[in-house]
């Protein structure tokens, strides 16, 4: 079983709603990630937090707002989304930016988002 | 040219077959290499890291050729349960940017 926990597993929201996806890991990892995955496509990196600071933003629209309250938690706040934002949102973590085994990324089970 | 390219697939093989997946990467500074497996509607799960000396885990063997910027995964004695999408993953030194290949779908049939 994955040690990265995501909630909710499924979310349906309207285009005017505000909702949040939550992610938690207790592996002591210092890097946490949000990925978006559409059907039959590989995961696409959205954001990376390293030591609770935003390290990478892959030019994600501002309707997606990440937050890292502490080293174990990562949120993704959603507002005014579009139907094309419907996808699987994956949270992941890794020990850090080191090489080798410490660079392994571990994924949560994902949150299935549908925007109506 | 994509940063990480994989065989397009799908691969349809009978049980017991040996199947090989290939992957090439464009950034010679890449440092870490992995194969992930993803089942339908599930998250990607680490199958194995790939080391320069090559490594084996049961029926699975991974190889890395830095000179050719090429990674491979060999699955021997395929099982029905091996049916999944296999993702080649490349990471840079000390960085967090992770590049996924498009994935290769494997169907193992009885």
User: pLDDT value at position A107?
Assistant: 95
Task: Flag whether pLDDT at A85 surpasses 60.
Answer: yes
The candidate with the shortest Cα–Cα distance to B86, out of B21, B31, B18, is: B21
Confidence tier at A101 by pLDDT (50, 70, 90): low
* Per-residue pLDDT tens digits for B35-59: 999 999 999 999 999 988 889 999 9
Give the mean pLDDT of A90-101: 75
Number of residues that this document lists for chain A? 116
Contacts of A7-14 spanning 24+ positions with Cβ under 8 A: A7/A111, A8/A111, A9/A109, A9/A110, A9/A111, A9/A112, A10/A111, A10/A112, A10/A114, A11/A111, A11/A112, A11/A113, A11/A114, A12/A114, A12/A115, A12/A116, A13/A78, A13/A81, A13/A113, A13/A114, A13/A115, A13/A116, A14/A115, A14/A116
The candidate with the shortest Cα–Cα distance to A17, out of A78, A67, A65, A62, is: A78
The candidate with the shortest Cα–Cα distance to A107, out of A40, A39, A29, A20, is: A29
* Per-residue pLDDT tens digits for A14-24: 999 999 999 99
Q: Is A55 exposed, middle or buried (0-12, 13-18, 19+ CB in 10 A)?
A: middle
Task: Flag whether pLDDT at A98 surpasses 80.
Answer: no
Q: Which of B66-70, B72-76, B97-101 shows the lowest per-residue confidence on average (mean pLDDT)?
A: B97-101
Residue ranges of A 42-81 with Cβ closer than 8 A to chain B: 42-45, 48, 50, 55-56
Confidence tier at A64 by pLDDT (50, 70, 90): very high
From B38's Cα to the closest Cα of chain A, the distance in A is: 10
Angle (nearest 5°) at CA B1 between B8 and B32: 80
Residues with Cβ within 8 Å of B86's Cβ and at least 6 positions away in sequence, in order, are B6, B21, B35, B36, B37, B38, B47, B73, B103, B104, B106
Is B110 in CB contact (< 8 Å) with chain A?
A: no
Among B30, B44, B64, B102, the residue to mutate for chain A (most A Cβ within 10 A): B44
- Contact flag B96-A107 (C-beta cutoff 8 Å): no
- Contact flag B89-A105 (C-beta cutoff 8 Å): yes
């Amino acid at each position: 079983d994955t040690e990265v926990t995501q909630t909710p597993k499924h979310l349906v929201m309207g285009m005017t709603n505000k909702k949040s996806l939550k992610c938690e890991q207790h592996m002591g990892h210092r890097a946490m990630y949000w990925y978006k995955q559409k059907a039959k496509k590989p995961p696409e990196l959205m954001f990376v937090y390293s030591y609770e600071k935003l390290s990478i933003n892959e030019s994600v629209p501002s309707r997606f707002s990440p937050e890292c309250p502490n080293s174990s938690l990562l949120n993704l706040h959603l507002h005014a989304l579009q139907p094309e934002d419907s996808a699987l949102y994956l949270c992941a973590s890794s020990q850090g930016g080191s090489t080798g085994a410490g660079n392994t990324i571990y994924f949560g089970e994902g949150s299935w988002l549908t925007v109506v | 040219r994509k940063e990480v390219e994989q065989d397009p697939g799908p691969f349809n093989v009978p049980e017991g077959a040996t199947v090989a997946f290939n992957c090439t990467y464009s950034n010679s500074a890449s440092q870490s290499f992995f194969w992930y497996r993803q089942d339908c509607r599930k998250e990607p799960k680490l199958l194995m890291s790939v080391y320069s000396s090559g490594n084996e885990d049961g029926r699975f063997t991974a190889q890395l050729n830095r000179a050719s910027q090429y990674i491979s995964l060999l699955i021997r004695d395929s099982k029905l349960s091996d049916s999944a999408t296999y993702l080649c993953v490349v990471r840079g030194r000390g960085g967090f940017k992770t590049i996924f290949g498009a994935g290769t779908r494997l169907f193992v049939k009885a």
